[in-house]
Amino acid sequence: MTVLRRAWVATVCLAAAATAAAQPLAPGVVLVPGGFEAGRQPDGNSLLLQGSEGWLLIDSGRHRAHAEAVRAAAGGQVRALLNTHWHLDHLGGNAWLRSQSPGLEVWASPAVAKALAGDGWLDRYRRQLQAALPTAAAGQAAVMRIDLDLLNQAAALRPDHEIETAATLSIAGRRLQVGVETAVSGGDLWVMDLESGTLAAGDLVTLPVPFMDTACPPAWREALARIAAQPFKRLVPGHGPVMSRAEFERWRGGFEALLDCADQCLHPAACAAVWRSRVDTWLDDAGRARVNGMLGYYFKTLLQAAPEQRERFCASP
C-alpha cells in the first residue's frame, strides 16, 4: 500500500463535528478537542498547560482553524509546543503557530525530523501528493493541497529540541514526565503533567479504533503497560473524549482483546465485535458503523497480513 493511500484512510472512514470549544480540565489545564469534519482530514486533540513562563501546547492539529482555536484558548500566548508524534493531524499546526510566535520553541522525538527528511514517510507523502494532484477530483484536490502546503513548510514543522529517552522535564515552567515509545509512529511521546495528573497519550489511545496506519502492535502493548503504571488522574487521547483511569483500563482491555483475536486468526468482523463490546459507551451510531470498515482495513494491511508486512513498522519509519 502506498503512503498516500494510508494517509487517506481516516478521511474515507471518518466524519464528525469540527473542532469543539476549549474545555478546562483542571487549573491551568485546557483541552481543545480535535475533530473529524466530512470531506477533510482530521485534527487531533490539543492540550494546553499553563506554566510559570507561559502556555505549553501539546499537539497542534492540522488545520489553521484548529490552530487558531488553540491560540485563542491560550490568549495568544503559546510559549512552547510539544508534538507527541509526526502524523500531520498532530503536527501540521506548528507552521501557522510559528508564524504568529516567531520565538516558539518546539519539542518532539527524533522520529519527526526523520519522517520529514528526504525519503522519510512525510517526504514520500509530499511527493505522492504532488504527483496525484493534477488528476485528482476538485474536492479531493482541495484537501490534498492542505497537506501539501504544510509539507512544503517542513522547516516550520521540525522540532528545535529532540527528546530521545524518557525524562522528567520542565517546559515553560511546567513539570512533565515524558515517555518515549515506538508503537504508533516509530517515535511517540506520552506526556504527564505532574501538577494536575493529566496524561496526554497522543495516538497511543484513540477512538473509534486504534489508528494502525504506521503501528507496531507488540510495541504498542508494552507502551500501554508503561502508561498504566503512571499515577495519572485523567488521560487525554489523541482522538476522542478525556478518560478516567478506569476508562483507560477498559480501552486498554479492548485493545488487548483485539490483538489477541487477530493473533488467533479469527474473522475480522468477529474481532470488531469484541472491540465494540469494550468501547461501545464512547460510540454513536456512526462510530459503530465505522468500526467494521476501519478494522477490516487494518486486519488486511497489518493485523492478519504476511509476517513481514505485520512487522514493517516495528522499526523507525
Residue 83 belongs to a domain with what CATH number?
3.60.15.10
What's phi and psi for 25, nearest 5 deg?
-110, -30
247 is a domain residue: yes
The total domain count for the chain is 1
Cell triple for residue 147? 497537506
85 is a domain residue: yes
pLDDT at 8: 43
Q: In sequence order, which ranges of 87-120 are alpha helices (DSSP H)?
A: 88-91, 94-100, 110-116
25 is a domain residue: yes
Strands 54-58 and 46-51: antiparallel
Cell triple for residue 218? 507488540
316 is a domain residue: no
pLDDT mean values, one per 10 residues, the chain (317 residues): 46 48 97 84 96 97 97 97 98 97 96 95 96 95 96 97 98 98 96 98 97 94 98 97 98 97 95 95 88 95 92 75
Give the integer Cα–Cα distance in Å for 233 and 254: 20
pLDDT at 228: 98
DSSP code at position 153: T
86 is a domain residue: yes
Q: Where in the sequence is the domain holding 188, given as residue range(s)?
A: 3-310
